[in-house]
Structure 1
């Protein structure tokens, strides 16, 4: 199970994305992701926290190739290594979880060891939760499919902004790339050994 950017500086108490944090709160995204992660661990499914962070000197980050990244990094304090903003939300973190951190881009595979880690674990299917449906989750799904993984997205454990746009992405993009289940459906499937 891949938990994408469920960090304090994205959806938590230190969020710099108030609209996204509000959608997460309204739709209980964190609770659903936490429910799915707990079920994964109980079923022996490894949870990988896919996090993003920046160095203060921005080394390793492509700044000029994306308007969104340029805008984010105007704030010299945004998602800095070693700060509370990059910490995984406490309700989603467990000592047995793995972490895959990236310093550039929008998806968890490029420039990280995530693919190597998953292959070493014998993974063939990834279950995606987290943020956001605007960039990160579609990127995760496309790259995972391109790398040969089967993808399942937990529909009530992801969000985008505005919320209606996120719903459209789920229907029109994610539906072409991945199976979609709710957290409750996933919990039942793992309890039944599927």
Structure 2
């Protein structure tokens, strides 16, 4: 029998991982207009904002998992995938210290933690994320953000391999094309994570959830 969401994502043992919701990815200086359009059409940023507001209100840690590059690309594998080889032909792409790597203003809060990486597509490998989560007593992670092409499946796979349980609000993630993202949710994420919605997750974190009217 599936676990109740309020138990699976209990505030005392859960953290939200926000994947690459950055200005240079989805914001006003985005390099991925197609993905930005899909997120706008589907309300992905708004759904993510609802998840984060509910998490902060319930005391659930929010960790902004961001990507950046040094100008000299030191510490980054830049030629081992076709995607990165093409992307980094632009020497100014997602440079550390530039507005492009900032979290979308509507999703940022002073109390959030940040897990920045300089290589790869996933949040755990080569970062201190696992140690940070364990220090917080986290056993369940909620994955939101982009994209369903690479980062979200990678997040889920890595988290499960490390022993975490995973929850994915389907309206707070997106991929390109949209139909591909839907297929990944149906045929890959469903095997790794409990799928829910932003509103159902917020309800599970509400202190009045289940209370008598």
Which category describes the TM-score, using the shorter chain as reference length?
over 0.9
Question: Which residue is 1:124 aligned to?
Answer: 139
CA distance in 2 between partners of 1:165 and 1:123 (Å):
31
Question: Which residue is 2:120 aligned to?
Answer: 105
2:185 is aligned, of 137, 156, 170, to 170
Q: C-alpha offsets along residues 21-50 of structure 1, whole Å, 9 cap, x if unaligned?
A: 000100010000011000001011000000
CA distance in 2 between partners of 1:17 and 1:184 (Å):
27
CA distance in 2 between partners of 1:90 and 1:154 (Å):
21
Secondary structure of 1:9's match?
coil
TM-score for both structures, normalised by structure 2: 0.90
Give the total of aligned pairs: 193
Matched, 1:80 2:78: no
Question: Which residue is 1:51 aligned to?
Answer: 66
TM-score for both structures, normalised by structure 1: 0.98
Tell me by how many angstroms 1:109 deviates: 0.4
Q: C-alpha offsets along residues 92-116 of structure 1, whole Å, 9 cap, x if unaligned?
A: 0000000000000000001111000
Matched, 1:35 2:50: yes
Tell me by how many angstroms 1:63 deviates: 1.2
Deviation >4 Å, runs of 4+: none
Question: Which residue is 1:156 aligned to?
Answer: 171
Structure 1 unaligned regions, length at least 5? none
Matched, 1:71 2:86: yes
RMSD: 0.8
* Larger CA Rg, structure 1 vs 2: 2
